[in-house]
Structure 1
Amino acid sequence: MAVSPLPPDAVSDESLVASGRRVLEIEQGALAAVGARIGAPFAAACRLVLGSRGRVVATGMGKSGHIARKIAATLASTGTPAFFVHPGEAGHGDLGMITESDVVLALSYSGESDEVRMLLPVLKRQGNAIIAMTGRPQSTLAQAADVHLDVSVPTEACPLDLAPTSSTTASLAIGDALAVALLDARGFTADDFARSHPAGSLGRRLLLHITDVMHSGEELPKVREDATLSEALMEMSRKRLGMTAVVDADDRLLGLFTDGDLRRALDSDVDVRAAHIRDVMTRHPRTIGADQLAAEAARLMEAYKINGLIVVDEAQRAVGALNIHDLLRAKVV
């Protein structure tokens, strides 16, 4: 049935805002009701997954299928191997994707979805553990499952009480709760998370280290403390980092000279040709270790309003340098 558009002024802003707020209030109530029911069945579901040698196979039809697909993605990215199987396709060959070691997470708010119910005898015969997520504890799916998670809600946020709204929100939240509880139980770390997200910005922030982006060897700008200011400027120009480290004979860091130091020196009428770098350098500059994350360099630069850092080793020897442009190229910031 086609829906006729309403005139722009047929509905007031106030009524639209009130409707939106009402939805959020109803869904907040639904989450509170479901949260209060997290208990022994939830722990049992977690233990089924933790004790499994296989994967979690999430399935569901319609809106429940969309939620199941998202839960599978969240599980997979937080240390629990998981994937989604469409129940309709499963009945036409995709059941072969499910091994006897897998745990099946089946979503159906009514618990009577034909496509999901059709899979139950096969899954039972294969020996799969089944976790059901329904809104009806007496439904076929709930009764057939090894563990039932009750996601029933007082009412849908849809004013007709028809469109899945509160119920899908509740199911999604319980899926998130499962994923995080399993993450905690496995001791899953930020580094583990980054390894499954290497192409994303988060992965870059968690995996990229200073050694991956710093300039070292011949690319490291450095001068001795007895160098003249003009010699330091030539070194800065050659290395193009907008700064140079000032080091002793053993490469231990004594100071730093940057474009900002140059501006301050010129403002104080320093003789650029005669001055020595030790007279105008910044002593005790901010530094970073080579084994630290590149994201930490970004944090330091932002916190101290600086554009570059010298990388030092345990003996405070200058071993590298990087600036904000290196972090931008690496997409850390």
Structure 2
Amino acid sequence: MPRSKPAPVKRQRVEPSGDAALFAAAQRVVEQLEAEEVEAWTACAETASRHVDFGAVPAAAFGLAKAVVPAEDHEIFVRLHDTIVERHRKTMAGWGGVDDSSGRQRCYGYFRNPAAEALHARSHSMRELAGGRAAEDREANRRASSLLEPDDLPEGLDAALDRLCACLAPQIAAASRSALSPARLVAAQPNLHNGRRYLRPHLDEPLHDGFGVVIVTVAVRGSATVLLQTDGAARQRLCFRLESGGREAYALSGAARDACLHGVLADEGGEPRCSLNLRFGLHSPGMEGEFPAGRVGYGGAGEALGEAK
């Protein structure tokens, strides 16, 4: 089956094997590849026609949505982010799994509902890992995860979630709307980029580390350009701004979540970026169930999604 993520550039750490010159050359190749990608995406960000018009989202990215979060609600989401980060300050996982040496980190706060509690208990690993490495990654994610008790949640969170879901629901793919509910919120995931500007476009793997039928990202600190690469015969690079000062959030559902790659190019010289993913609903394996994971994939890996809203 074709890869649903591009072949990693920085994920696998290259170790010297008795030949320092070879190691240095390999590192230079990695750095050059990333520099070329950043240059291409910077050109995209500087081209007005490549910026998504949220009043007319392209068919290849249907299900993409954006919202301005009220100031009091944004403060609540920031407090939730900070609570989870402080709990896992010493046990965070690498953003790209146990082989990620980029310095990016993430952790998880799972909510109290049966689906969330079951996923927390079994944990998850990167799709690319197998055997002992997958087990190691699963354990690292388990250490970086905890169940959120009512006393852990900031006051007003339920109402803030209600308002966020109500704002985004009319914009997302109709087939995903039943998942966008506070009752089906599985986990809140803080992401710390730790000064790294560029996050390569990738697909969130639904049965692995990228769970969630609808994924809402709230800008917590630092502003960035969000990158989107569509699938299909006419693949194109798209982008849009996400401003923490503007208290913005965006949602991935439908084709935008299931068949596009998304990444980040943080502002140069700005405040180090961190964000909060709110992961709603879970996929089932194969092609059965309300949200079948078999329909998710990039480059022909998933079944055609159609455009019906």
Per the normalisation by structure 1, the TM-score is 0.24
Structure possessing the higher radius of gyration over alpha carbons: 1
Select the structure that is richer in helix.
1
Which of the pair has the greater relative contact order for Cα pairs under 8 Å at 6+ separation?
2
Per the normalisation by structure 2, the TM-score is 0.25
